[in-house]
Amino acid sequence: MREFTYQRAASIADLSPDATIIAGGTNLLDLMKLEVMAPPVLVDITHLDLGGVEPEGEGLRIGALVRNSDLAAHPVIRRDYPVLSRALLAGASGQLRNMATTGGNLMQRTRCPYFYDRRMACNKRDPGAGCAAIGGVTRNHAILGASDHCIATYPGDMAVALRALDAVVEIDGPAPRKVPLSDFHLLPGNTPHVETVLEPGEIITAVILPAPPGGQHRYRKVRDRASYAFALVSVAAVIGTEDGRISHAALAFGGVAAKPWRDPDVEALLKGSEPSDALFREAAEILLRPARGWGEHQFKIPLLRRALIATLRDATGMETAA
């Protein structure tokens, strides 16, 4: 770990553009020990008034400092947005969720092992250095939206559910703004070191959920062990049915891209259709048309296909998962 200056923010106005925010520290501290991140100035925001889950319009406003455990257990979340609660509980471990915050979770870095290993070339850590993952061990890498410069995934679960819920990220800073989660994380292109739209000096203050979408909520996470492992692939689904037809379909996918993935064509196909295996297969086909693997992680293509079909069968009552 490199030496750093520690500051405790008393107000958002205190945040300087050269300071790095620390919240729960569950990701940042690991990265600092490995010197993958070496911020000269750390500003601790945990004393700011950014907690709390409050009504906002017909929806909810979730403070950036709300802990993952508290959010997952919140009665309104459990009742009206169960996909979010399930996604949170599918992530990390009890101890980590007790520390992890909503803002930190959105900002967590990839789990590409080459990113964590300073002996290895990595465009994300060191722009222009190359990508050691390509040609290496790529079990947790991306099949959608990646580039030859970087094939890393955004590894989190919470954001996948938020994406299916059409959440909006509230940002404070020199020019406060609201950014739909769909636009918050960025695909790598040739700038994989730029991961979100957040600018220096900006801070996430909250995540805003629109009115409860109703319908069936599912979060299905396929991983290498039953708990405490990142997703190989995951599916967040909010599915409404009326008169035997799908009336509402919001589907987001995790573990497959540098951002929680969503495909309007898939949802357009499902909407208004009768649930059937043929329909679900077609949906998977559309979803995976642009998919490609750079190595071992090609297995994610059939795995995501199957996970999507199973989730849809479950959410439409064709088969129970339990």
Partner 1 sequence: MTRHLRVDGPNHDDRLDHMAQGILGQPLNRLEGPLKVTGLAAYAAEARPMNMVYGVLVQASVPAGKVLEVGDAPGALAVIHDKRMVRYAAQGMDQKGPTSGPDQIEYMGQAIALVVAESFETARHAAQNIAVRYKTASVPVEPEAVKPELPPKKQSAAGNVDKAMQDAAVTVDRVWQTPSHMSAAMEPHAAIAEWDGDHVTIRAALQMLSSNRKQMADALGIKEQNLRLLSPYVGGGFGSKLGINAEAVAAAIAAKKLGRPVMVAMTRQQVFDLAHRRSETRQRIRLACDSDGRLTGIGHEVLVSNLPSSEFVEPVAQATPFTYQAAHRQVVHAVARIHRGCAGSVRAPGEAVGVTVFECAMDELAEATGIDPVELRLRNIPDVEPTTDRPFSSHKLAEALREGARLFGWSNRKPAGQRVEGEWMIGMGMAAAVRVNMLVESRARVTLNQDGHAIVETDMTDIGTGTYTILGQLAAEMLGLPMERVEVRLGDTNFPPASGSGGSFGAASSGNSVYLACEEIRSQIARAMSCDEVDLTLQDGMARAGNVARPLSDLIDGQISGEGHLQPGKTEKSHRQATWGSHWAEVAVNRWTGEVRVRRMMGVFACGRVLNEKTARSQCLGGMTFGIGIALTEAMEHDPRDGHAVSRDLAEYHIPTHADVPALEVHFLPERDAYVGPLQAKGLGELGICGAGAAVLNAVHNACGVRVRQLPATPDKIVAGLED
Ligand X SMILES: Cc1cc2nc3c(=O)[nH]c(=O)nc-3n(C[C@H](O)[C@H](O)[C@H](O)COP(=O)(O)OP(=O)(O)OC[C@H]3O[C@@H](n4cnc5c(N)ncnc54)[C@H](O)[C@@H]3O)c2cc1C
**Two structure tokens written together for 255:** 């573990």
**Two structure tokens written together for 321:** 């998962």
Name the E strands within 165-214: 168-172, 177-180, 203-209
How many other CB atoms are there within 10 angstroms of residue 60's CB atom?
24
Q: Are 142 and 257 in contact (CB under 8 A)?
A: yes
- 107, interface contact from ligand SF4, ligand X, partner 1, none, CB < 5-8 Å by kind: ligand X
228 binds partner 1 (CB under 8 A): yes
**In the window 278-307, what residues touch partner 1 (CB under 8 A)?**
281, 299-300, 302-303, 306-307
The amino acid at 114? Y
**In the window 124-143, what residues touch ligand SF4 (CB under 6 A)?**
124, 131-133
**In the window 93-112, what residues touch ligand X (CB under 6 A)?**
96, 99-101, 103-105, 107-108
156 binds ligand X (CB under 6 A): yes
39, 51, 136, 173: residue in contact with partner 1 (rule CB under 8 A): 136
> For residue 5, what are the β-bridge partners?
41
**Two structure tokens written together for 268:** 């357009």
In the complex, minimum distance from the CB of residue 233 to ligand SF4, in angstroms, rounded to a whole number? 17
Residue 288's contacts (CB-CB under 8 Å, 6 or more residues apart) are 143, 301, 304, 305
27 binds ligand X (CB under 6 A): yes
158 binds ligand X (CB under 6 A): yes
Strands 41-44 and 5-8: parallel
The amino acid at 315? A
227 binds partner 1 (CB under 8 A): yes
First to last CA, the chain: 45
Q: Are 22 and 28 in contact (CB under 8 A)?
A: yes
- 64, interface contact from ligand X, ligand SF4, partner 1, none, CB < 5-8 Å by kind: ligand X
Task: Identify which of 152, 158, 128 has the alpha carbon closest to the alpha carbon of residue 140.
Answer: 152
Q: Is the Cβ of residue 247 or residue 298 nearer to partner 1 in the bound state? A: 298
List, as one string, the DSSP characters of 80-137. Answer: H-HHHHHHHHTSS-HHHHHH-BHHHHHHPPP--TTTS-TTS-BTTTSTTS-BSSTTS-
**Contact flags string 150-189 toward ligand SF4, x per CB under 6 A:** xxx-------------------------------------
60, 87, 104, 115: residue in contact with ligand SF4 (rule CB under 6 A): 115
Distances from the Cα of 309 to the Cαs of 126, 305, 313, in angstroms? 39, 6, 6
- Between CA 307 and CA 322 the distance in angstroms is 14
**Contact flags string 208-237 toward ligand X, x per CB under 6 A:** ----------------------x-------
Residue in the shown chain whose Cβ atom is closest to ligand X: 104
- 279, interface contact from ligand X, partner 1, ligand SF4, none, CB < 5-8 Å by kind: none
Q: Are 146 and 257 in contact (CB under 8 A)?
A: yes
**Two structure tokens written together for 267:** 């949802």
In the complex, minimum distance from the CB of residue 20 to ligand SF4, in angstroms, rounded to a whole number? 19
- 35, interface contact from ligand X, partner 1, ligand SF4, none, CB < 5-8 Å by kind: partner 1
Q: Is the Cβ of residue 68 or residue 110 nearer to ligand SF4 in the bound state? A: 110
Which residue ranges make up the site for partner 1 (CB under 8 A)? Answer: 1-3, 33-35, 111, 113, 116-119, 135-137, 139, 220, 222-230, 232, 281, 299-300, 302-303, 306-307, 309-310, 314, 319-322
Which residue ranges make up the site for ligand X (CB under 6 A)? Answer: 20-28, 30, 45, 64, 91-92, 96, 99-101, 103-105, 107-108, 156-158, 198, 203-204, 230
